[in-house]
């Protein structure tokens, strides 16, 4: 502990397939982390409690009373304790005032956000990343690529609208369970095929339905290398997602670095100028929500000289 910045919060990013615990300092930055494959559908023996103890016990013993805040599917109906969705628009205040508690261990959980106007949509976990990315800005479009890509509109620090694209999950399902993957060689980087897929889907006036099979037909007619078929398919799906981008948008990309670069490249092909957010926005978001909820002291002088 000596020589280390004092920790103020334990943050948990607890999703469907993984659990990442972070020890967070008084500036919302990560001091230490511990990642396990213990998503809520892949819990170890002993369930939520055992997973929680495994990643937090040493830190709680070293710093008794350290508050702990989690975000993600751990707060879903299938999670440890349900943290019911907040209605959009919602910002840090709304989230902080609707935390759920796992009373037995003193853990708090950030709620997700629901849209229930003309369209229905939900997010859980991404709201915390967005809040963490709102450091120097309080408005704009944030794009969080992944299994379920989210396009999020922020105004005055609040999430006012969002849209889910199942791009990553659809890609995996098509690759692993349709003819499009059956004859493809293992994925190899092939930027040409990726770019071609992006442009093809982005430029079409129709839906992507009639384009998917081209990933197979182009190979059969020797117009696409078999080694590029999956990159082309990935490009088609991302290009189709980008067709919904609002005119003139300049998104902030949030998420895993290589995936963000992939989206940034695709966006550039479609005339969209995107920047990539700094990493660790989840920890920053948990920190901001914890401060707003009064889980940690928010007087800056306290952080510098605890």
Enumerate binding residues for a second copy (CB under 8 A). Answer: 114-116, 119-122, 148, 163-167, 169-170, 172-174, 176-180, 201, 206-210, 212-214, 216-218, 220-221, 223, 237, 240-241, 243-244
Contact of 26 with 302, CB cutoff 8 Å: yes
**Nearer CB in complex with a second copy: 59/171:** 171
CB of 18 to a second copy, least distance (A): 16
Contact of 194 with 230, CB cutoff 8 Å: no
Count CB-CB contacts under 10 A for residue 204: 15
CB of 7 to a second copy, least distance (A): 35
**Nearer CB in complex with a second copy: 56/76:** 76
**Nearer CB in complex with a second copy: 237/254:** 237
CB of 150 to a second copy, least distance (A): 10
CB of 204 to a second copy, least distance (A): 9
**Rounded distance between C-alpha atoms, residue 67 and residue 53, angstroms:** 14
CB of 270 to a second copy, least distance (A): 13
**Nearer CB in complex with a second copy: 46/207:** 207
Token reading at 211: 């384009």
Nearest to 60, CA basis, from 87, 98, 21: 21
**Nearer CB in complex with a second copy: 5/164:** 164
Q: Are strands 30-36 and 107-109 parallel, antiparallel or unpaired?
A: unpaired
For the chain, list the strands marked E by DSSP: 7-14, 19-25, 30-36, 68-71, 86-87, 100-102, 107-109, 113-116, 120-123, 140-144, 149-155, 158-165, 252-253, 275-276
């Amino acid at each position: 502990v000596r020589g280390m910045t004092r920790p103020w919060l334990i943050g948990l990013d607890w999703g469907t397939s993984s659990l990442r615990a972070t020890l967070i300092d008084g500036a919302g930055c990560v001091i230490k982390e511990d990642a396990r494959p213990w998503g809520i559908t892949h819990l170890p023996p002993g369930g939520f409690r055992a997973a929680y103890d495994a990643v937090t016990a040493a830190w709680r013993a070293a710093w008794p009373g350290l508050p702990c805040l989690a975000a993600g599917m751990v707060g879903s109906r299938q999670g440890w304790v349900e943290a019911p969705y907040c209605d959009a628009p919602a910002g840090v205040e709304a989230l902080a005032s609707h935390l759920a508690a796992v009373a037995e261990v003193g853990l708090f959980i950030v709620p997700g956000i629901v849209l229930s106007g003309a369209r229905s949509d939900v997010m859980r976990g991404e709201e915390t990343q967005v809040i963490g990315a709102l450091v120097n800005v309080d408005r704009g479009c944030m794009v969080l690529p992944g299994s379920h890509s989210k396009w999020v509109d922020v105004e005055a620090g609040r999430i006012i609208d969002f849209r889910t694209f199942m791009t990553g999950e659809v890609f995996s399902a098509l690759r692993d369970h349709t003819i499009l993957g059956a004859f493809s060689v293992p994925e190899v980087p092939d930027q040409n095929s990726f770019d071609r897929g992006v442009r093809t889907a982005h430029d079409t006036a129709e839906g992507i339905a009639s384009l998917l099979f081209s990933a197979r037909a182009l190979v059969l007619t020797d117009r696409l290398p078999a080694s590029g078929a999956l990159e082309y398919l990935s490009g088609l799906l991302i290009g189709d997602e980008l067709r919904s981008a609002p005119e003139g948008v300049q998104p902030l990309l949030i998420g895993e670095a290589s995936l963000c670069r992939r989206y940034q490249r695709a966006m550039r092909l479609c005339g969209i100028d995107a920047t990539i957010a700094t990493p660790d926005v989840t920890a920053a978001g948990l920190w901001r929500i914890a401060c707003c909820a009064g889980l940690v002291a928010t007087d800056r002088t306290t952080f510098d000289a605890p």
